[in-house]
Amino acid sequence: MTPWRLILSKALPGADNMALDEALLLERKPGDPPILRFYQWEDDTLSLGRFQKAAEVFAATSGDFPAVRRISSGGAILHRHDEITYGLIAPYKDFGGRSPRLAYNDIHDILTRALDALGVRAQKRSESLGDESAPFCYDRLTDFDLTAGADFKKLIGSAQHRRGRAFLQHGSIPMTDDGQVERGTSIERLLGRTVSREDVIRAIIEAFKTEKGISFEESDANDREVNRAAELKQSRYGLEAWTLER
C-alpha cells in the first residue's frame, strides 16, 4: 500500500495556513495518497467559518487579533500559538464512502483512539447542544464533536470542505486553557499535567496507522502545492475583502 503523506509544517501566519490547506486539496490528483498535516499559528489568529458574518464574529470577540476566513464552514475559532491544528486531505472512499458525515465520524473515532492512548477519555456527542447560532465553534456542540470530562466540554472542533470525491477536514486541539471559552477544555486541564506537542502528534499518527492499516512518509509541500498556496494567498486569504466578504 502506498504510504500516506505526513507534513509537519512550521508556524505560519493564518493566511498562509489556510492557503496551504486548500492548495493541498486543489492539487490532489485521483489516486494520490491522503495527506495528514500538522501545523501551528505564528500569531494568535481568529479563523471565521466560510459562511459567517464577519461583523457578528468581531462583535463577540474580546481583543484585537489577526483574522482569516476558512474555506470550511462552522463557527469561528481563536487559534492559539500553543494549539495543535490538523489538516487531512483524502478521498471519501477511504473514510466510509461519499458521505461527509461518515468521514467526519470516522476521523473523530481515530482521534478518540489517540486521545485514549494519552489518557484522555473523549466521547462524541450524538446530539447538538448549546446555541447553534453562537459565533464561536467552542460555544456549540454539534453531532460527532469530541467532548471530555465530567462536564462534557468540547475538546476538538473540526470543519470540512468537499471537492468532488475528496475533502479537506481540519480541526483545533487546544493544549492549554489559554484563551478557551467556557464550554471548551484542553489536554492539559483534562490530564492535570503538561503534554508535549510531539507526544500528541505521535499518538494521532499511531492511531491512523492502526485504524487504517497504513504507513506514513514525511514530506514537505511540493513546488506545485507551494505555488498554488502563494496564488491563493494573493487572490483570497491575504485579502481583507475575502475575510470581510460576508
How high is the pLDDT of residue 91? Answer: 96
Average pLDDT for the chain: 91
Q: Mean pLDDT over residues 105-110, rounded?
A: 94
Between 144 and 233, name the one with better pLDDT. 233
The string of pLDDT tens digits covering residues 166-175 is 999 999 999 9
d(CA 230, CA 170): 20
Query: What is residue 177's predicted lDDT score, i.e. its pLDDT?
Result: 80
C-alpha cell, 171:
480541526
Examine the pLDDT at 130 and tell me if it is beyond 60: no
Average pLDDT score over residue span 129-152: 75
Residues 28-76 pLDDT 10s: 999 999 999 999 999 999 999 999 999 999 988 877 899 999 999 989 9
CB 122 within 8 A of CB 112: yes
Confidence of residue 235 (pLDDT cuts 50, 70, 90): very high
- Give catalytic status of residue 138 as yes or no: no
Give me the pLDDT at residue 207, please. Answer: 98
| Kind of pairing between the strands at 84-91 and 77-79 | unpaired
Amino acid at 153: K
Predicted confidence band of residue 152 (pLDDT cuts 50, 70, 90): confident
Alpha-carbon distance of 23 to 15, in angstroms, equals: 12
pLDDT of residue 127: 57
Q: What integer pLDDT is reported at residue 128 of this predicted model?
A: 52
Q: Which CATH superfamily hosts domain 4-243? A: Bira Bifunctional Protein; Domain 2 (3.30.930.10)
Which pLDDT tens digit goes with each residue over 94-104?
Answer: 998 778 889 99
Q: Please, which pLDDT band fits residue 132 given cuts at 50, 70 and 90?
A: low
Cell of residue 180, nine digits? 478557551
What is the pLDDT averaged over residues 128-154?
75
HSE-CB at 203 with a 13 A cutoff on CA atoms is 19
**How many whole angstroms separate alpha carbon 71 and alpha carbon 17?**
11
- At 244 the pLDDT is 93
- In the chain, % of residues over pLDDT 90: 72
Mean pLDDT of 138-153: 80
E-assigned strand segments in 66-120: 67-69, 77-79, 84-91
**pLDDT score recorded for residue 103:** 94
| pLDDT for residue 204 | 98
pLDDT tens-place string over residues 175-214: 988 655 566 889 999 999 999 999 999 999 999 999 999 9
Q: Which of 57, 137, 155, 204 is catalytic?
A: 137
In this predicted structure, what is the pLDDT of residue 129? 54
